[in-house]
Amino acid sequence: MVYVPDTGHVVGALGLTGAQAPADVGVLVGPALPLRVALGGGETAVLSLRDRQLAPLAADDEPGVFTDPLAFGVEQVAGPDSTVAAKPTLLRLPPSSTQLEFNTDGLVVSVPLANASQDTTVLALVSAGDETHVLAGVLAEGQKSVTLPVTVDSGPHGVLVLVAGWAGRLEPVTKQ
């Protein structure tokens, strides 16, 4: 499988029979992992996660990751001597009730509960024709929303939003 180390989200999984996961994620996805979003009216947007934004992980012990990869995250577990464990843990993330909308400044990502104890990493990909805008931000401690600056035309756009600790969302979002 491949995941986004910045947020921990799994974005793709496949079963390898009798093989180890390659150390180079490019062997699995090529230069980019394409994610498709139906926009309606027969249109599809393709979002591209570059191979440098991804990491590979062998985790065949959770069959659900093959049918719904965005519902899973990778957690680095500290070993007994406070070092990072050799094999990270795969965990099911809580369903996302994140709200997404465009305003004049960009894509607004809102979560239902403010995380009062720490900053939360947010990564979003937004389609704009053949381009993919990669947006990064932080929900600061105690905040419930963040605006990720982007300029796009009116109409539907494919959007992938990864908020650390919540299941990922891949869906169309319309800018009015």
State the Cα–Cα distance between residues 35 and 85, nearest whole angstrom. 30
- Going along 13-130, which residue ranges are E strands? 32-40, 43-50, 55-56, 72-75, 89-92, 99-102, 106-110, 120-128
Give yes or no for a contact between 95 and 138, defined as CB atoms under 8 angstroms apart: no
pLDDT at 22: 74
Give yes or no for a contact between 174 and 101, defined as CB atoms under 8 angstroms apart: no
Name, of 11-20, 24-33, 97-106, the range with top average pLDDT. 97-106
What are 64-95's pLDDT values in tens digits? 888 899 999 998 766 666 555 556 788 999 98
Domains of the chain (ranges, CATH numbers): 2-175 (2.60.40.10)
pLDDT at 102: 97
State the Cα–Cα distance between residues 124 and 5, nearest whole angstrom. 14
Q: What is the mean pLDDT of residues 136-157?
A: 94
